[in-house]
Structure 1
Amino acid sequence: MGKPGAVRLLRSGVARAVRLRIPLNHPPPPWAWRGGRARSRPARLRFAFASCQDFQAGYYTAHRHLAAEDVAFVAFLGDYIYENGPIPAAPRQHTGTGEPYTLAEYRDRYAQYKADPDLQAAHAAAPWVVTLDDHEIDNNWAGPLPPDPARQPPAAFRARRAAAFQAYCRADRGPPRTWVCDLRTDFDDPSSPVVGAELTGISLTSGGHPDPAAFHATYDPIMAESPHWKYADLQRGYVLCDVTPERMVSALRVVDTIWLPSSPIRTSARFLVEAGVPGVSVLRQEPARTRPIATPQYPAVNDKP
């Protein structure tokens, strides 16, 4: 196990990690290391969750604000990188001439993402708990089979998948919308009991700049017929959660645009989950925006969210 405060370097043939053993009774001021910091057992848990950060779709404006949120950790829920080749019409382009297939190419893609100063600031501000989705390897892959077998023979895809997994381990590593819902035992029966709450996060950039008018024209009528839906939107940003033994208050933090390197952050809505009370309630929300903010315009980026 090692002594409290001892540092161990864990390594294998394909990956390395540093493990710091911190005693649980250590006071909560942050522990720091080169590139980041962490806290031990905070009295009140405050964390954020985010996902889907296609480099080409826009700037990491939201990460700049996330770095200032003073959270215990960031839960990143997948799509840390995107495998698309360069898109000339995008606000900024992936390096290389196409999609990554080899270990070196995946490492180059991670290096490009991690060179972004706003993403670096978010990593330095708090530890990240990460999971992968599909774009860390290839869009909509499943098991040993490629999503497009006519273009990628299964054997070639398995080699590509192995390279992507190795790059992911060495890199510290559906469409992007926000849904807030009650979870019922039978969604077809509005009188069925509520047993839980669901908060589904938005993307940081993926999907490009949102079209609020088209979104609400499509989903507001569905929401009116779905009593378990409490909130739906598609603005870009992250969710900030403040947790005590009595409740969790979650703030939807959004930027006006991802097509400029800087943009103010604001709280678009707040949600409450109380201990022992199934379901979620909306504490406040701003009126739905039906027109996009005036910004530089780019053609739609086909980033396969």
Structure 2
Amino acid sequence: MDRRAFLTAATAGILLPRPAVPAAARTLRSDPFTLGVASGDPSTGGFVLWTRLAVDPLGGDGRGGMPARDVDVDWQVSSDERFAAIVRSGTATARARDAHSVHVELDGLEPGRDYFYRFRSEGRLSPAGRTRTTPAGETPLRFAVAACAHYEHGYYTAYRRLAEQEPDLVVFLGDYMYEYGPSGYTALAGRVRTHTPGKCRTLADYRMRHAQYKSDPDLQAAHRVAPWLAAFDDHEVENNWAGSASSTGAPGFARRRAQAFRAYYENMPLRRGSLQGAALRVNRRVSWGTLARFHLLDTRQFRDDQACLDGVRAGCDDRLASDRTLLGAGQWRWLERGLRGSPTRWNLLGQQIMVAQRDYKVGPGREVNLDSWDGYAAERTRLLGALAGTSNPVVLTGDAHMHHLAELKADFDDPDAPVVARELVASSIASDGDGYRDRTWIAEALQENPHISYIDQRRGYLMARLTRDELSVDFRTLDYISRRGAAARTSHRLSLPATSDPAARTSTAAPPA
């Protein structure tokens, strides 16, 4: 049986039948595994396993309809999809104070192999998931890159198509959920499905919003198929927040941010040490053997407030100030040390906002997005300098709701400036609805930004294959998400050879399909 058939059958209960338990022994009134299962942050010896118990995901108090008591949850890890070869098992406590979430951190397993896992609680069995430890050597890697999944704007068909391709790893770069109330973002909102009532302000609000998103079967499929490396952007808390500053100026933002962080941790496969009081650490490194190292950044928690009132604007000289920071001093030291000391062939920088200069104005003058790296231009120059001395750097980005392929140059206004790295920007899973293919607008945007070679406004994700000698990337797009069933196809393909000469990095790209 292949993996896809296994995952389908396991979810349906075919391979993993529920045990016969007398009704009187079940103290929960219905299935507590309504939010699915997930894994993340793999290492050579293990990974994080996650689930969260909820019998009523949209229960109004944010507890998922669970009783105000702790609940024991058994877990199993098997080297065999039928769970005939259990290699590790145990019992975790789903605590009421943690919204009955479970984070199991494993180590001591074999490197570079698939494992299967499941949970059981009070006589009920969860769906089974597939995960993987990282290899010890130079093993090829297939990974997906995704971002931005506004629930109201469309169905999560892109998650389903991603899962069907069975990557080894999923890199998610922010806006996993959106904090807006019903119809709170653009005219598209509410046309397909609707957020739970109210804008997210309290811990209960954020817990319910995560539960609503996690209830989606296509998202659950993407979590079951592979381990995730996930980092937040802004909407997991509030649109365009920056450091300690709310974008709306509303009072009590520090408390709101801490509650959003807590709910994010409770609902994602993160290591327990990532939640540090009122802060949440998501900048971290994960290596895929000697082939690649992922450097995940936090571009929200430590940044200065956006210059010139945020948004896409022209003539904002404040954005050029040399003392403006996006990453913060501590994260900068961590990043530079990690890039300089990386032993891997490839270095993949996973972060949330576009690094490449992006002029939104057609014709004379320039308008840039001050929430992106364009709003922190001096620090971007420092970043590009660090990447220039790194082995085969590639930047992976979310946020833009459009596919982009860009050359990162020491001077974006100089056509002859050396290319430091490539930036691969994933479009959104659902944000902004069906999307479109405006060839006139695309041609004008490419003309204004000659270092950008590909743009696509449709929904989608990236699927990449990495070997010692080459990174190949398929830009996957869907024609619609306002109804279910759309196919995903490769609209553009990149082939990027490895090189030991940073100044000679070149790529070839196939024309759009």
TM over 0.5: yes
User: For residues 87-98 of structure 1, what are the structure 2 equivalents within 5 Å?
Assistant: 87=183, 89-96=190-197, 98=198
Residue in 1 that maps onto 2:410: 185
User: For residues 154-169 of structure 1, what are the structure 2 equivalents within 5 Å?
Assistant: 156-169=252-265
CA RMSD of aligned residues (A): 2.4
Partner of 1:190, secondary structure, is coil
Answer whether contact 1:51 1:203 (CA < 8 A) is retained.
Answer: yes
Alignment pair present for 1:58 and 2:159: no
* AA in 2 matched with 1:176: H
User: For residues 1-305 of structure 1, what are the structure 2 equivalents within 5 Å?
Assistant: 17-23=103-109, 26=110, 28-34=112-118, 35-41=128-134, 43-87=139-183, 89-96=190-197, 98-149=198-249, 152-153=250-251, 156-172=252-268, 175-213=400-438, 216-276=439-499, 277-286=504-513
Higher RCO (Cα < 8 Å, 6 or more apart): 1
| Greater Cα radius of gyration, structure 1 or 2 | 2
Question: How has the CA–CA distance of structure 1 residues 201 and 10 changed in structure 2, closer, same or farther, with 3 Å as cutoff?
Answer: farther
Q: CA deviation at 1:209?
A: 2.0
Partner of 2:511, secondary structure, is strand
| In 2, Cα distance between equivalents of 1:233 and 1:93 | 26
Question: How has the CA–CA distance of structure 1 residues 222 and 116 changed in structure 2, closer, same or farther, with 3 Å as cutoff?
Answer: closer
| In 2, Cα distance between equivalents of 1:148 and 1:20 | 41
Answer whether contact 1:50 1:238 (CA < 8 A) is retained.
Answer: yes
Question: How has the CA–CA distance of structure 1 residues 77 and 16 changed in structure 2, closer, same or farther, with 3 Å as cutoff?
Answer: same
Deviates more, 1:109-118 or 1:34-43: 34-43
Q: CA deviation at 1:279?
A: 3.9
* AA in 1 matched with 2:407: D
| In 1, Cα distance between equivalents of 2:463 and 2:452 | 20
| In 2, Cα distance between equivalents of 1:147 and 1:27 | 44
| In 2, Cα distance between equivalents of 1:7 and 1:244 | 34
Q: CA deviation at 1:195?
A: 2.0
Residue in 2 that maps onto 1:294: none
Partner of 1:167, secondary structure, is helix
Residue in 1 that maps onto 2:387: none
Answer whether contact 2:434 2:479 (CA < 8 A) is retained.
Answer: no
| In 2, Cα distance between equivalents of 1:10 and 1:132 | 26
Q: TM-score, normalised by structure 1?
A: 0.83
| In 2, Cα distance between equivalents of 1:158 and 1:280 | 44
| In 2, Cα distance between equivalents of 1:109 and 1:225 | 39
Partner of 2:485, secondary structure, is coil
Query: Gapped runs of 5+ residues in structure 2?
Result: 1-44, 47-86, 119-127, 184-188, 270-398
The total of aligned residue pairs comes to 275
| Residue-by-residue CA offset, 1:242-284 (whole Å, 9 max, x unaligned) | 0000001000111111101211111111111110051433123
Q: CA deviation at 1:63?
A: 0.9
Q: CA deviation at 1:162?
A: 1.1
| In 2, Cα distance between equivalents of 1:101 and 1:46 | 38
Query: Gapped runs of 5+ residues in structure 1?
Result: 287-305
Q: CA deviation at 1:233?
A: 1.2
Q: CA deviation at 1:199?
A: 0.7
| Residue-by-residue CA offset, 1:56-113 (whole Å, 9 max, x unaligned) | 00000111111111211100000000011112742100112x1011111111101100
Partner of 2:222, secondary structure, is helix
* AA in 1 matched with 2:404: W
Q: CA deviation at 1:181?
A: 1.2
Identity of aligned residues (%): 39
